[in-house]
A and B are shown apart, each in its own frame.
Chain A
Amino acid sequence: MEPLPILGFSAVSALGTSLDEMRDCLRAGRTGLRLGSTVLPGAKAPLGEVRVSLPPLPAGLGAFDSRCARLSALAMAPLSDVLGVLRDRVSSRRIGVVVGTSASGNRDLEDAFLGDGALGYDYHNRQSFGAAAVVVARLAGADGPAWTISTACSSGANAVISAARMLRTGMCDAVVAVSVDALCWTTYHGFRGLGVMDDGPCRPFDADRCGLNLGEGAAAMVMARPGIMATAAGADLYLAGWGAGSEAYHMTAPEPEGDGAAKVVAKAIASAGIVPEDVGYVNMHGTATMANDTAESRGVVRVLGRDVPCSSTKGFTGHLLGAAAGVEAAITLLALIDERLPPNLGLTTQDPDVAAFIIREDLHAPGIRFALSNSFAFGGNDTSLVFGVRR
């Protein structure tokens, strides 16, 4: 496919509210996971909480107020300059918005419900998952088509794909893709009920891993049709391709041989017009559940071989559900800019059933040109995004 320029990107997570903070944590191997939470007080497992006071929404958006909306606004803030320049170049009517979210941050609804039964709570503006795109469209000053994608833990990647289609079909000249989710009790108890939550820091791909940690955050990416304007992302970055598909296997368990993962990774590199040897890094979905990590490794190795450096960064951020793909895309883009690959925190003894090359320490990758970011979800909804950089 024709590469789609990335004009700017941002991320908010337990690693901080700026790309520089995130970069520092990744380099230093410093996790954002902590026991003790103000969002989920009394939680028994470490959480990747955004531990700053979230600014209120701008004037006129108060009706949409929620933790999710505030996280989206925080992620959008660093992109205000690039969006301003963009609106000078193209009509706001030609700027589209796609938001990816899973739970749309049920936390505010939970608070209201556990308090007074949510009497008088404006669910449809504050919590319904469609409202997330209304908020982002207003924050971005975008008047083109806007909607929300909700495919659980691959929501953020499917938002990028849907936004890319707006560009490829000429529906829009520029798009804003945001992914967001906030910590909430619904997902906390849901994953505990599934028996896939580690009460210590998660250990993706480790032989003794026993599950995930939850996190929260948001990420934003501005893309445009080629030639609209120069990038402000710090390098000549672009979306090179993607693969997406359904496993048609089980609602929560991945196909154990990694067929689903292999299929989307193969589609992704074919879409980008590259071969396995071109791939310099894979940011794995790597939830640290027994089932995901072996299946994903098998699928990736089948297509890319054993030599491509891979890591899951969920040991830094936790699993951000609907925001995971967006934040991990930002981490992947930083890896391309910096030519340094983030380590896989929590790995002591690699699972012998994991044949992929899992990075243990921050790794230099001089000349890296392409990197993948995988995201898989309930319902067997699999995605792999390919990002590239021109040097």
Chain B
Amino acid sequence: MNGFSILGAAGLLDGSIQLHHDETWGDGDFIPKNVRRRISRLIAQVLRVTYEAGGMAASEDAAMIFATANGEINTIGAILQALLAVEPQVSPTLFHNSVHNAAPGYWAILAKRLAASTTLTMGVASFEAAMLEAWMRLSDGESEVQVSVGDEAITGAPWADPAHCTVDFAGSFRVGCGTEPGLGRLALVEFVPEEPDGFDEMARAQVLGATEVVCDPMTVPGGAMHPCAGAAVALSFLLRPGDAGRLLLVRRSPAGGRFILVFDRGVHD
């Protein structure tokens, strides 16, 4: 089990808490002002972590896989409000921001990335499913992909259950085929269909030699609910100073079965 190198990673929680591999943290200046005033909060946060994870250093062939559970839910909420008018008018900016691949689209434009980016969702297992898509792409010949995740607190969609996402969180992982040590390794991603007798996480952890096991994370650091909490767990593990270790992350899919992710962390100062 060798896997792929984690070349960079970054996370942004509630707009203030940073999960990052060095001391520098940009202020989003790479986003031109004329773009910044047009994009949603979610797009801004996803662009920022994609940049902070070293996205500009990636090859122009590095695709972005954007994982999100709710996508542009607050933008859709704003459009629904506009539909209440007698003569509804939906602004073009609001409309094109409402597509769930808006963040990869803006990233392609800003970073001049010509690769085949995509947006993927599977509810609370969106991050884990996106990592499996990344694993498949790397196994199928792509040299590098960047998995960026993000969901914003549900504030503008009163018809959605706000408990599904109570805090803004975005994270990004650059994953490549090279042998560079990077921040660690994505050692394994697999999907285990539903087992009649359940799934024994601890037995699996023992087989894989995991030093930490996290099953079905629902909360990000601080305890807020977030559908992509698994990404926050992985970031915390990879960026935490300390000894080498192996994390087994297990996430049940809303469609049944489980995604299994294994991360290796090198020794950090």
Contact = CB atoms under 8 A, between A and B. Distances in A.
Interface of A: 92-93, 97, 102, 106, 109-110, 112-114, 117-119, 121, 123-124, 128-131, 133-134, 137-138, 143-152, 158, 161-162, 165-166, 168-169, 171, 185-186, 189-194, 244-252, 263, 377-381, 383
A186 to B, nearest CB: 5
A129 B104 contact: no
B136 A143 contact: no
B160 interface: yes
B121 to A, nearest CB: 4
B96 A124 contact: no
B164 A124 contact: yes
30 contacts: A93-B193, A113-B83, A123-B160, A124-B123, A128-B123, A129-B71, A131-B123, A138-B255, A144-B193, A145-B253, A147-B120, A150-B100, A162-B118, A162-B133, A166-B136, A169-B136, A186-B80, A189-B79, A189-B89, A189-B90, A190-B90, A193-B90, A245-B114, A248-B112, A248-B113, A249-B109, A379-B99, A379-B101, A379-B104, A383-B116
Q: Point out which of B101, B109, B114, B253 has the most chain A C-beta atoms below 10 A from its C-beta.
A: B101
Contact of B109 (A189, A251, A377): A251
Interface residues of B, number: 63
A145 B257 contact: yes
B245 interface: no
B133 A381 contact: no
Most buried by B among A149, A190, A245: A190
A252 B118 contact: no
Nearest to A154: B101
Interface of B: 69-71, 76, 79-80, 82-84, 88-92, 95-96, 98-102, 104-106, 108-109, 111-123, 126, 129, 132-133, 135-137, 139-140, 157-161, 164, 191, 193-194, 253-257, 259
Given A114-B83, A130-B122, A380 B139 contact: no
A185 B98 CA distance: 13
A98 to B, nearest CB: 9
